[in-house]
Structure 1
Amino acid sequence: MDNNLNITYITIDAYVELDKYRFVYFVIMFTAYILIICSNSTIVCLIVIHKNLHEPMYIFIAALLLNSVLFSTTVYPKILTDVLSEKQIMSYSACLFQFYVNYSLAASEFFLLTAMSYDRYVSICKPLQYPTIMTKTNICILLVAAWILPAGQLAVPVGLSADVELCEFSFKGTVCNSAVLKLQCDKAAVTAYGVLILVNDVVLPVLFILFTYTRILIICYHSSGEVRRKAAQTCLPHLMVLFNYFFLVIYDVITVRLETDFPKTARLVMTLQLVVYNPLFNPIIYGLKMKEICKHLKKLFFQGKTN
């Protein structure tokens, strides 16, 4: 506690043998950050530039990749600063802010995936109504809701936690997640509200996505091979991203619940996967599996060789 400024600091106790592997950590994380920014931004720029990609499906993909860039930007600068610092500390208010932004963006990812599944459902199951349902206005509403709803819900626990008394000052994580709320002396109210947020922002969107893709599978089963091919080409990448992200969120929930029992090295490895693997996984999947995006990527990177 800084009595003069009334700032409470917490210690980041996450890294294994940091003094020995300090520059290894830095090189790995800096390289990952550059790759994440470049890969996601490249596909977003392609979608913005090329008019044939100005369709709802690609707009939602661009929003999803932009979400990964924003998430990485809130995480990596702090990690890079920590691994180069002698002391890994962070003010409690800054940690709460990082928690708020990270979880808002994480929840937004589920809402964006929900919007994408709805888009595919309308496209495949109600093709004649697609132009009237997926209008520009409705797309904007879905995008705004995907970012505003999680941010509004998470503002409540963050507001409740801003001025509470802390009983612990050591945080066992590289990124401020819900474990930061466990530092509080009285955490019952925030924990109860956290369960509600988990249901609203993760469980319900995943159930809706599973429902829409079940309907798509039923329609495809009774349709022609061309319809099944189109469905597989556009829906498979979304499902891969969904399952990948869902399991990472489950890991986050489990490690928070088993905070004292989870080995430090295993926690570090899994956390690094969370901040490295998922933001890199999305552009790779959409860049390789989405035919139109892949075509523009080939033109971008290989046009010099073909000329």
Structure 2
Amino acid sequence: MYTNNTQPFPIYFILLGIPGLEAYYFDIAFVFSIVYAVSVLGNITLLLIIKIERSLHEPMYLFLSMLSSIDLMLTSSTAPKMLAVLWFSSYEIYFEACLTQMVFLHSFAIMESALLLAMAFDRYIAICNPLRYSTILTKHLIIAVGFLTVIRAAALMVPLPFLIKRLTFCSANVIHHCYCEHMAVVKLACADTTFNNIYGIVVALLIVGLDLIFIVWSYVVILHAVFRLSSKEARLKALGTCASHICAILVFYVPVVLSSVVHRFGKNVPIHIHILLANAYLMLPPLINPIVYGVKTKQIRNRVMKIMQLNIVCFAKTSTF
């Protein structure tokens, strides 16, 4: 459905979900619902524990709290509509709502990449320059990093709706996806999309490319410093402090890189594989990060155990009455 000729874009788009897997929508929706529920619960728990536990009021965990906040918003920007499509066949999404979702999901993905880079810098200082750790990573610097993370994402994503609105969509308004991803919307245009394509590639290279290069470089320096340590115990302890962050990096960047490679070179790959890979980099980090940090961080693990024990005791007392 379209407006008049002065606004050559649809009133709404149709989100098809995952074409080719329609027969499995109930099963997929069930799994996605569990993933979303666990992600929300895990990240909220992590945020509360970091706030309550004074021993966690350190740069590493302040960055982690920012990462959890971004994960919450990242998964919540897509999951509700995605589940509405899969559970209730609610395929329509208004044009302005589609653009809003697009800006939010890409902005939070950019912020996640920036936070992973900031956490790599944190580990670099902690291992390579431990005596100056508290003087370099002050609260003012951490707040500044948070602001720069938001400003960079906003600067790159604010132009996106205007770039979409300059396109003409003719009669196409069916998106072969679960959510409003930039290139999935651009493909529907019947106008010249060269600038949109270039913009998308440049942003991807600036974010995924540069951030990942600096992260890899920081870990090359970290590993060089670690293997210069005299004792095996010291080396293992130093590497242990990086394990959770390395896992967070892999969970975020591996699906992104795989999705990009398949999109560019997988001409014969079914469309549902493309969509599932795209979903992976939005849904896996919010799910895996709180679990990994919860297992690897003693203070978080102990606090969770105390909460579980209190709940068991309270349940036992209420069940006796």
> Same fold, TM exceeding 0.5?
yes
| Partner residue of 2:182 out of 162, 175, 178 | 178
Is 2:145 the partner of 1:139?
no
- Report how far residue 121 of structure 1 moved: 0.8
Give 1:178-197 correspondences, 5 Å limit.
Answer: 178-179=182-183, 180-184=185-189, 185-197=191-203
Is 2:204 the partner of 1:198?
yes
Give 1:204-243 correspondences, 5 Å limit.
Answer: 204-225=210-231, 226-243=233-250
- Report how far residue 22 of structure 1 moved: 4.7
Give 1:268-279 correspondences, 5 Å limit.
Answer: 268-279=275-286
Query: Is the 2:110–2:153 Cα contact (8 Å) retained in structure 1?
Result: yes
Query: Aligned equivalents of 1:87 and 1:289: distance in 2?
Result: 40
1:22 to 1:14, Cα distance in 2 relative to 1, 3 A: closer
| Partner residue of 2:44 out of 17, 41, 44 | 41
Query: Aligned equivalents of 1:150 and 1:98: distance in 2?
Result: 14
Which moves more between the two structures, 98-107 or 181-190? 181-190
Give 1:129-168 correspondences, 5 Å limit.
Answer: 129-167=132-170, 168=172
Query: Aligned equivalents of 1:83 and 1:151: distance in 2?
Result: 30
Aligned to 1:252: 259
Residue by residue over 1:160-192, the C-alpha shift from the partner in whole angstroms, topping out at 9 and shown as x without a partner, is: 222421254221111222322222222111211
C-alpha root-mean-square deviation of aligned residues, in Å? 2.5
Give 1:85-164 correspondences, 5 Å limit.
Answer: 85-86=88-89, 88-164=91-167
Query: Aligned equivalents of 2:230 and 2:308: distance in 1?
Result: 35
Q: Among the aligned pairs, what percent are the same residue?
A: 28
- Report how far residue 272 of structure 1 moved: 4.1
- Report how far residue 275 of structure 1 moved: 3.9
Is 2:15 the partner of 1:8?
no
Aligned to 2:301: 294
1:170 partner letter: V
- Report how far residue 205 of structure 1 moved: 1.0
SS of the residue corresponding to residue 10 of structure 1 reads strand
Residue by residue over 1:59-116, the C-alpha shift from the partner in whole angstroms, topping out at 9 and shown as x without a partner, is: 1111111111101111111112212444512233322221211111111111001111
Aligned to 1:76: 79
Query: Is the 1:154–1:197 Cα contact (8 Å) retained in structure 2?
Result: no
1:249 to 1:200, Cα distance in 2 relative to 1, 3 A: same
SS of the residue corresponding to residue 18 of structure 2 reads coil
TM-score normalised per structure 1: 0.90
Query: Is the 1:178–1:256 Cα contact (8 Å) retained in structure 2?
Result: no
Query: Is the 2:263–2:274 Cα contact (8 Å) retained in structure 1?
Result: no
SS of the residue corresponding to residue 93 of structure 2 reads strand
1:243 partner letter: L
1:295 to 1:250, Cα distance in 2 relative to 1, 3 A: same
Query: Is the 2:116–2:249 Cα contact (8 Å) retained in structure 1?
Result: yes
1:112 partner letter: L
Is 2:272 the partner of 1:265?
yes
1:276 partner letter: M
Query: Aligned equivalents of 1:230 and 1:197: distance in 2?
Result: 37
* Number of positions where the alignment pairs a residue of Structure 1 with one of Structure 2: 307
TM-score normalised per structure 2: 0.86
| Partner residue of 1:61 out of 60, 64, 67 | 64
Query: Aligned equivalents of 1:128 and 1:19: distance in 2?
Result: 57
Aligned to 2:317: none
Query: Aligned equivalents of 2:229 and 2:251: distance in 1?
Result: 29
Which moves more between the two structures, 294-303 or 112-121? 294-303
Query: Is the 2:252–2:284 Cα contact (8 Å) retained in structure 1?
Result: no
- Report how far residue 8 of structure 1 moved: 3.1
1:275 to 1:205, Cα distance in 2 relative to 1, 3 A: closer
